[in-house]
Amino acid sequence: MTQSRSFRVYEDILDLIRSGTIAPGGRMPNERKLAALNGATRTQVRDALLMLQKEGLVERKIGSGTYLSDDAPKIIEMGDAGVDLTASGVLDFQETLEARLYIEPRLAAKVAEAGDPAAFDALRTAADATAAARDWLTFKEAIYQFSRCLYVAAGNDFLVSIFDQILASRRRSNFDGRQSQAPVADLVRTHMRDELRAIADTVASGDPAVAEAAVRQYLIGLAASSAH
């Protein structure tokens, strides 16, 4: 009974995380507050937090409290959609990321240097679209459209065609999601919007080196999260 109740507490806390009320890296409510919110004992809350910790969603710091992991949005995103990065018959995800790492940071630098307000607006609009996406396919499509804006703004039709081939391959695999119509948690959507918005603002700042570094870091982060 205790174990079953602990699992229900785990699900309630997971719903709290998914709601986006707590930002990645933010401090979770303490055990007493979580127990009061869920009508549970502190022992049951501890058991639930341990389950969340094993999944990498929270980090418990002795003497400080429990914090939402920086990786929580990606863990929830991939879990909800049943992501399978071993799908056959499509371009390998890691290989496409490697190719994009060669291209996109330099494109970001070029777009920053060009200083076209219309390009910056397009990037911001594409970033905001991720927050409005409700299901996995729409969400991933919005993310890729953000990157495509860089290719279009750089004005190189050949590179746009290369990216479109990558995008077509990703679509064929449903972006590696086995649950393509899975809803996307508020935490995941708002986190991605904020991340892409920050990149858009960095590109709009007009500093090519900083823009290049921001896009490179973003793609490296994607590669790292998909390697686990």
Q: Quote the pLDDT of residue 85.
A: 66
Residue 57 has pLDDT above 70, yes or no: yes
| Cβ atoms of 28 and 66 closer than 8 Å | yes
**Domains of the chain, with CATH numbers?**
2-70 (1.10.10.10), 77-226 (1.20.120.530)
CA 15/CA 9 separation, integer angstroms: 10
Residue 55 has pLDDT above 80, yes or no: yes
Residue 1 has pLDDT above 50, yes or no: no
Q: Which helix (H) or strand (E) holds 58?
A: strand 58-61
CA 16/CA 153 separation, integer angstroms: 39
| Mean pLDDT of the 164-173 span | 92
| Mean pLDDT of the 124-134 span | 96
CA 168/CA 103 separation, integer angstroms: 18
User: What is the pLDDT confidence band of residue 5, given thresholds at 50, 70 and 90?
Assistant: confident
Q: Quote the pLDDT of residue 62.
A: 86
Q: Quote the pLDDT of residue 95.
A: 86
Selection from 14, 86, 90, 83 nearest residue 45 by Cα: 14
Q: Which pLDDT tens digit goes with each residue over 60-117? A: 988 899 999 999 999 999 888 888 766 555 567 888 899 999 999 999 999 999 999 9
Query: Measured on CA atoms in the order 122, 126, 132, 133, is the torsion positive or negative?
Result: positive
**Cross-strand partners of 177:** 83
CA 170/CA 89 separation, integer angstroms: 11
| Mean pLDDT of the 193-207 span | 97
CA 62/CA 5 separation, integer angstroms: 25
Q: Which pLDDT tens digit goes with each residue over 16-26? A: 999 999 999 99
Q: In the predicted model, what is the mean pLDDT of the chain?
A: 91
| Cβ atoms of 211 and 108 closer than 8 Å | yes
Number of helices (H), then strands (E), belonging to the chain: the values are 10, 2
* 3 state SS of 20: coil
| Mean pLDDT of the 208-228 span | 88
Between 13-17, 40-44, 90-94, 210-214, the lowest mean confidence (pLDDT) is in 90-94
CA 213 to chain centre: 18
Residue 204 has pLDDT above 90, yes or no: yes
Between 34-38, 41-45, 118-122, 191-195, the lowest mean confidence (pLDDT) is in 34-38
Count Cβ atoms below 10 Å from residue 11 Cβ, excluding itself. 13
Residue 163 has pLDDT above 80, yes or no: yes
CA 39/CA 103 separation, integer angstroms: 53
pTM of the model: 0.88
**Cross-strand partners of 135:** 183
